[in-house]
Each structure stands twice: as C-alpha cells, then as structure tokens.
C-alpha cells in the first residue's frame, strides 16, 4: 500500500501499460553544456568544472579516470567528481584553487556511458584560462538557515498561507494569522533559538551587504534579463516589472549547481504583480541571496526564488509564491495567502 507522510493511502490502484520495441537503446549521450565554456578567459580560480548531459548517465562511469582536468604540460589536477542525476550535471571539483592566468584542459572520455551502457561517441575536450580572483561563495546562514520566515518585530498573516519551514521572531512577540495560515515547522518566539537566529540573521545580512569584490552594476529593472552567477549591486532600488517575457528574470547557473548569485539593493526591492524568476541550467534557490537595504515587496501572484535578507520589512502581496527565505532584520514579514517553501542550503 502506497501512503503519504500522514498515512493516507491512494484512493485507487494506478495501472499503466507500455509496449516494447524490437531494438535496444543505441543513441549515445551527448554533452549539451560545459562550464567554463570552451576558450573562456578570466575564469575564477575556484571554479568548478561542469558538464551537462543529454540523458541520464550510469553514475559509476563518472570518475576521476573519465572526467579529468589538466594544467600546463598536461599535469593532472587532483579533485573529486560528483554527478547530480536530476539535472544531468557532472562536476569536477579541484582539490585546491587553480593557478591564476593559466590554461587548463578538461576532458570527458568515452568511458562515460548512459544508464543502458551506451558510451559517448567521442571524447569531449575543452579549454579555459583562469583570471586572478575567486568567485562568490555562499552566504553562511548559520543557525538561521532553518527559518523560512524570520523577523525582528512581527510575523503577520492574512488568508490561507502555507509556510513550509520554521518561523522565528526576536525580539518581537506578535505572530498572528496562523490559522487560518499553516506553518509546517516550529514557531520560535523570544526563546534561545530565536535569539541566536536573530544574531545569525544580522551576521548573514552584513556578509551579503558588505561584499564588493567583482561587483557588477545592477539596473533598476531586471525584467527580461538573463543573468549568470556573480555579485550584482544597485546603489538605490531595483526590481522586476513588465509583462510577458519582459516580466521574467532568468538566472542561469551555466551548468554549475553550486553557482552563487548575490544581489545588493541599497534601498528597496520590488516585484510587480505576476512577474517571475526562472532558474535554468542548475540554478538553485538556496544559492541566491537578495540583500535589501530597506524593504522587499513581492507583487500579487508573483513567483520568486532566493533568500531575502532585508534590513527592514518583507511584505508579500496576495498570492505571491516563494521558494527560499523571508528575513526582516528590524521590522516584520507580512503574508497574504502565499505559499512559502524553505529552500535547501
């Protein structure tokens, strides 16, 4: 008997049929994306080397023998291999940072095979040259990482919000609207857990807001843009506005599932109604950080990914959906018939 986590069984059996063909799979897998890109330059010295495949692989065939990285004079670089089956991304993680201003060669051999044993038709080889700086590292959320909503003065809800994760409040005392809202996690108000989380929120906020190395100027409207990993800064306010394709911000991890995006707004972050963020090529909500100097407002029925670390408040308008975290250091988090799901670190 198949049941959900509450012990409820399927209402009826689910039955399906399929018919086999006459031949086995003979199509070799292909590499659809490599990171860093072939012939790229100024690559950060702590860059992971990644390859995205066209179909699921036999993970036993992704090893340090079949996925290699070499430096000058073909000297092998020591590292470890990881394969993420859902995304189809294989990653070579160098044991130490790469040497600055140096040419490297990555190779995938024909020992790499799909789940039916069909190997790559030919080796995949690409080169890149490092720059002089390291890339952005994730913001350490410390003990606050388990909180989907964390605030200083209040957490207030209206309507049938579903919040998947813990709620924390410190030093305030007002958590209201649950129910009708539902919290699938613990609620900590002015206790030792919330006090430590409040301190860790401030530490994380200062980290995200204080970074400067390698910053890229951020426009006032991100609608219609596709951005790659990095540190983006706006000295005043930014957000997403527009309709259709112009109301979508796409974050492209370029095949690196650990790629980090940090956005700094000196004042406010505002998304209009029905705008959205789309994650592609391995981007993950847990690796996206929105550092907001005052308040972050998410519009009605908008779709949002990432961790908001606001100095003041985080109000959500009716129907906004969030995968990430909503943190307001001084003031409150306000919800209205929203769905908020804690992202993995």
- Give 210-248 pLDDT, tens digit per residue: 999 889 999 999 999 999 999 999 999 999 999 999 999
Q: Which residues of 122-149 are buried (b: 16+ CB within 10 A; e: fewer)?
A: eebebebbbbeeebbebbebeebbbbbb
Question: Alpha-carbon distance 31 to 54, whole Å?
Answer: 6
Query: Mean pLDDT over residues 3-26, rounded?
Result: 83
Please report the pLDDT score of residue 257 as a whole number. Answer: 81
Question: Alpha-carbon distance 188 to 308, whole Å?
Answer: 19
Backbone angles phi, psi at 293, to 5 degrees: -70, -30
| Each residue's pLDDT tens digit, 173-184 | 999 999 899 999
| Residue 5: pLDDT over 80 | no
Residue scoring higher pLDDT (22 or 69): 69
Query: Mean pLDDT over residues 319-330, rounded?
Result: 98
| Each residue's pLDDT tens digit, 129-142 | 999 988 899 999 99
| Residue 21: pLDDT over 80 | no
Query: Mean pLDDT over residues 99-111, rounded?
Result: 97
Q: Where in 38-184 does DSSP place strands (E)?
A: 40-43, 49-53, 67-70, 79-84, 89-94, 103-108, 124-130, 147-151, 154-158, 162-164, 166-169, 174-176, 182-183
Integer angstrom CA distances of residue 27 from 72, 92, 310: 35, 25, 50
Question: Alpha-carbon distance 230 to 215, whole Å?
Answer: 7
Coil, helix or strand at residue 110: coil
Average pLDDT of the residues of the chain: 95
Asked if residues 219 and 239 have their Cβ atoms less than 8 Å apart, the reply is no
Residue scoring higher pLDDT (200 or 10): 200
Q: Return the structure tokens found at 236.
A: 């005043």
User: Minimal CA–CA distance to 77: which of 60, 94, 102, 97?
Assistant: 94
Q: Return the structure tokens found at 56.
A: 């699921």
| Each residue's pLDDT tens digit, 52-64 | 999 999 999 999 9
Query: Mean pLDDT over residues 196-201, rounded?
Result: 97
In the block, residue with structure tokens 């086999």: 20
Locate all alpha helices (DSSP H) within the chain, ordered by sequence: 192-210
| Residue 275: pLDDT over 90 | yes
Asked if residues 210 and 234 have their Cβ atoms less than 8 Å apart, the reply is no
| Residue 44: pLDDT over 80 | yes
Please report the pLDDT score of residue 331 as a whole number. Answer: 97
Please report the pLDDT score of residue 247 as a whole number. Answer: 97
Backbone conformation region of residue 5, classed left if phi is above 0, alpha if psi is from -120 to 50, else beta = alpha
| Each residue's pLDDT tens digit, 153-174 | 999 999 999 999 999 999 999 9
Question: Alpha-carbon distance 174 to 54, whole Å?
Answer: 50
| Residue 249: pLDDT over 80 | yes
Please report the pLDDT score of residue 345 as a whole number. Answer: 66
| Residue 6: pLDDT over 80 | no
Integer angstrom CA distances of residue 280 from 40, 160, 293: 20, 30, 27
User: Minimal CA–CA distance to 114: which of 58, 67, 174, 59?
Assistant: 58
């Amino acid at each position: 008997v198949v049941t959900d986590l509450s012990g409820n069984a399927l209402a009826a059996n689910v039955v399906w049929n399929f018919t086999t063909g006459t031949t086995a799979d003979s199509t070799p897998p292909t590499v659809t994306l490599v990171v860093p890109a072939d012939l790229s330059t100024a690559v950060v010295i702590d860059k992971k080397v990644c390859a995205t495949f066209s179909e699921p692989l036999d993970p036993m065939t992704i090893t340090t023998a079949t996925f290699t990285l070499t430096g000058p004079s073909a000297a092998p670089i020591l590292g470890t291999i990881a394969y993420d089956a859902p995304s189809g991304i294989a990653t070579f993680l160098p044991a130490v940072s790469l040497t600055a201003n140096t040419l490297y060669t990555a190779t995938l051999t024909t020992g790499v095979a799909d789940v039916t044993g069909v190997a790559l038709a030919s080796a995949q080889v690409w080169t890149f040259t490092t720059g002089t700086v390291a890339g952005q590292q994730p913001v350490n959320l410390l003990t606050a990482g388990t909180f989907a909503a964390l605030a200083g003065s209040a957490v207030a809800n209206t309507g049938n919000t579903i919040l998947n994760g813990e709620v924390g409040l410190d030093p305030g005392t007002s958590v209201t609207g649950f129910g009708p809202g539902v919290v699938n996690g613990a609620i900590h108000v002015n206790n030792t857990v919330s006090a430590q989380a409040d301190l860790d929120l401030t530490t994380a906020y200062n980290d995200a807001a204080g970074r400067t190395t390698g910053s890229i100027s951020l426009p006032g409207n991100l609608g219609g843009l596709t951005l790659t990993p990095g540190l983006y800064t706006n000295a005043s306010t930014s957000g997403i506005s527009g309709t259709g394709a112009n109301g979508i911000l796409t974050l492209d991890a370029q095949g690196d599932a650990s790629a980090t995006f940090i956005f700094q707004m000196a004042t406010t972050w505002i998304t209009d109604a029905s705008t959205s963020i789309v994650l592609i090529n391995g981007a993950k909500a847990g690796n996206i950080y929105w550092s907001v100097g005052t308040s972050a407002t998410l519009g009605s029925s908008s779709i949002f990914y990432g961790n908001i670390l606001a100095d003041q408040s985080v109000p959500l308008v009716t129907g906004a959906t969030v995968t990430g975290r909503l943190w307001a250091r001084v003031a409150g988090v306000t919800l209205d018939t929203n769905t908020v799901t804690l992202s993995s670190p």
